[in-house]
Structure 1
Amino acid sequence: MSVSPRSAAVIGAGVIGQVYAGRLAAAGHSTWLLARGETLDRMRDRGVTLIRDGQSTTAPVTVVGSVEEIPPVDVVYLAVRGDQVVEALPVVQGVRATTVVTLVNLAGDALEVAERIGADRVVLGFPGVGGTRTDDAVTYQVVKQQPTTLGKYDGREEPVVADLHDAGFAVEVVDDAASWLATHAVFIAGAGAAILAAGSSQAVGEDRKRTAAMVASVRDGFEAIAQHGVTVTPTPLKVIFTVVPKFFAVYYWGKQMRGDLGRLALAPHVLATRDTEFSLLAREVRDLTGGDAPLLDAALEQAGFPDADLPGAAT
């Protein structure tokens, strides 16, 4: 069911930003996309071009280079890497919008970011697409196992859900977005460490020992954050790592790492952000687990992230 078109601004012109801006604009929502540098120059020339399943579309997005070019909008989406959030928050605060939606892997900083944005207008969330970009276009896939996830905020999220449904996104609303993001960060740390150590998600999925080590590291992380008061959620992710027999979890995740989830959603982003967002995520996850996840720590070290090498670690 279509909704009355609303207006949106998207901060960040990477894969996530372009996909959400492009699909909202294609659905009839007035959409501005803030880009910078060479990305801004290229996109002003060619617009936002999205490729899915071999089909290319160019969306009617207004690409801008400064926040002053964005008029008042209904909602602003923050779609930058986790390591860019601190720099981007003043930009977000400069956009005149009723609601701010984060589509970022915030790990342990979710509540702090929400406080800085403002408790009366924030909706914490996480994107449900993965892909790659070139100078000419973004090639993406919707992640079937991971719909766009939004927190529940006394109904403030409902118009956003309607907008995203109108743009063709599957959306899940969760009660505790901060715990969801912390749980997801631990999962990405374990899966990402395995991918980086092996070189690809395919290599992880084809090697039962690597898959088993990945499952053990994520289970270890989940148990640690639970000890520190984090609710491990969503339930299906908790169950597959901590409840079902290990042999089944290894079989399941081997298949996922060989399939679209590993090849299209996890591996491209982890490999592209090894020295940026993922390195920050590794530090934040270690903070979340409080030193109580030795298997996850070992996996991160094997992937090239010993404690002393992490940004912000003591020397």
Structure 2
Amino acid sequence: MAAQPVRILIFGAGVIGSIYAMKFMEAGYDVSLFARSDRFRRLQEKGLQYNDKGTVRTVPVKVIDTLENDDVYDFIFVTVRYDRAESALLALKDNQSPNIITMTNSPIGFSSWLGIVGDRLLPAFPGFGGQIKDGVLYARFMPKFLVATSFGEMNGAVTERIVKLSQVFQAAKLPYAIKKDMQAYLITHSVSDIALLGGLYSGNQEINSITPGTRKTARKITVTLKAYLRAIRKAGIAVDPPVFKIVPKLPSFMLDVLFIAWLRTNMVKDMMMPDYAYAANQEVVRLQNDLTEFLSMQNGG
């Protein structure tokens, strides 16, 4: 008897969810994409549209806007922002699928998410980004040796489902890394986002393309990044990737130069688009508030 095809649900049809859906479909998996409102209607009517070296191409995609409890998938990828993760998991609480993969930051550990979906939870983080403009996906892939999708069991074990998930990524030709301490990795990544995105958006009533390219903004990123990296190490949290351990020791002017260069890239220009900027600002505010509270608790505050 032939093996049943792996069923995958992508819960969230933004940039990350759309990229995973496209790559997993290319690998031959049975993929459905959960979307709502205008995004659901557009995907239903026009398929998944993406930019391929200047040409807009379309692939048909199975899209749903409701999920029955007995509609079971091998893997559900939750590809929403951190500030929407809890509500997404609550929507999946009674679904019977065995593996729920959260593809987002988590600056406070996993206890609240475990309280919703139990040991079905598998924390992860995506290895790419991009934009959706006028309904068209513009994917942005970093060099494979720099960025990969990261995932791992909360106890660091290499379980059967970790092996199976690795096989899915291999078939989709997507780089991945199995992490022994996902909590440390996601807290460190949260610190990075708080510094970088907070530098772009914090305090700006109106996001514009002039504010980011200043030495003042770069210095703010430098100061914030160093302060939070010191804080998480003081709280006994491992810094991962390990290269971040040297950041607090580097001269600030060296980091300023690096961040000034980053602030002038096309990637940052795209990140200043009003819709994207507003959503990212909402997320970084929640990340910062939750991380500050978490660190206070770790230090007995």
Which category describes the TM-score, using the shorter chain as reference length?
A: 0.7 to 0.9
The structure 2 residue matched to 1:237, chosen from 240, 244, 248, is 244
| Corresponding residue of 1:150 | 151
Structure 2 CA distance for aligned equivalents of residues 173 and 219 of structure 1: 26
Shift of 1:118: 2.1
| Corresponding residue of 1:68 | 68
Aligned length: 285
| Corresponding residue of 2:20 | 20
Structure 2 CA distance for aligned equivalents of residues 115 and 158 of structure 1: 25
Contact 2:151 2:182 in 1 (8 A): yes
User: 1:50-129, aligned counterparts within 5 Å?
Assistant: 50-68=50-68, 71-119=71-119, 121-129=120-128
| Corresponding residue of 1:43 | 43
Moved more, 275-284 or 26-35: 275-284
| Corresponding residue of 1:288 | 294
Q: Given residue 207 of structure 1, which amino acid in structure 2 is its aligned partner?
A: T
Question: Secondary structure of the equivalent of 2:88?
Answer: helix
| Corresponding residue of 1:173 | 178
Q: Given residue 186 of structure 1, which amino acid in structure 2 is its aligned partner?
A: V
Shift of 1:274: 4.5
Contact 1:202 1:257 in 2 (8 A): no
Deviations 1:84-103 (A, max 9, x none): 22221133234432322111
Structure 2 CA distance for aligned equivalents of residues 101 and 215 of structure 1: 32
Shift of 1:31: 0.3
Structure 2 CA distance for aligned equivalents of residues 267 and 108 of structure 1: 27
Structure 2 CA distance for aligned equivalents of residues 21 and 249 of structure 1: 36
Structure 1 CA distance for aligned equivalents of residues 163 and 210 of structure 2: 38
Shift of 1:253: 2.9
Q: Given residue 8 of structure 1, which amino acid in structure 2 is its aligned partner?
A: I
The structure 1 residue matched to 2:198, chosen from 153, 173, 193, is 193
State yes or no: 1:273 paired with 2:286.
no
C-alpha spacing 1:128/1:64, structure 2 compared with 1 (3 Å) = same
C-alpha spacing 1:91/1:182, structure 2 compared with 1 (3 Å) = same
| Corresponding residue of 1:306 | none
Q: Given residue 234 of structure 1, which amino acid in structure 2 is its aligned partner?
A: P
| Corresponding residue of 2:187 | 182
C-alpha spacing 1:59/1:191, structure 2 compared with 1 (3 Å) = same
| Corresponding residue of 1:257 | 263
Shift of 1:202: 7.7
Shift of 1:39: 1.8
Question: Secondary structure of the equivalent of 1:73?
Answer: coil
Contact 1:125 1:149 in 2 (8 A): yes
Structure 1 CA distance for aligned equivalents of residues 48 and 133 of structure 2: 12
Deviations 1:160-190 (A, max 9, x none): 2221232232212211111111111111111
Moved more, 20-29 or 208-217: 208-217
Q: Given residue 36 of structure 2, which amino acid in structure 1 is its aligned partner?
A: R
Deviations 1:59-97 (A, max 9, x none): 342101111298422111011122222221133234432
Shift of 1:291: 10
Structure 2 CA distance for aligned equivalents of residues 127 and 200 of structure 1: 27
TM-align CA RMSD: 2.9
Structure 1 CA distance for aligned equivalents of residues 186 and 62 of structure 2: 30
Q: Given residue 154 of structure 1, which amino acid in structure 2 is its aligned partner?
A: V
| Corresponding residue of 1:215 | 222
Structure 1 portions without partners, runs of 5+: 293-315
Shift of 1:258: 2.9
Question: Secondary structure of the equivalent of 2:110?
Answer: helix
TM-score under structure 2 length normalisation: 0.82
Question: Secondary structure of the equivalent of 1:68?
Answer: coil
Q: Given residue 129 of structure 1, which amino acid in structure 2 is its aligned partner?
A: F
Q: Given residue 59 of structure 1, which amino acid in structure 2 is its aligned partner?
A: V
Contact 1:202 1:263 in 2 (8 A): no
Contact 1:16 1:129 in 2 (8 A): yes
Structure 2 portions without partners, runs of 5+: none
Moved more, 193-202 or 34-43: 193-202
Contact 1:51 1:140 in 2 (8 A): yes
Identity of aligned residues (%): 21
Q: Given residue 17 of structure 1, which amino acid in structure 2 is its aligned partner?
A: G
Deviations 1:23-64 (A, max 9, x none): 211221100111112221221111212224424333342101
Contact 1:228 1:288 in 2 (8 A): no
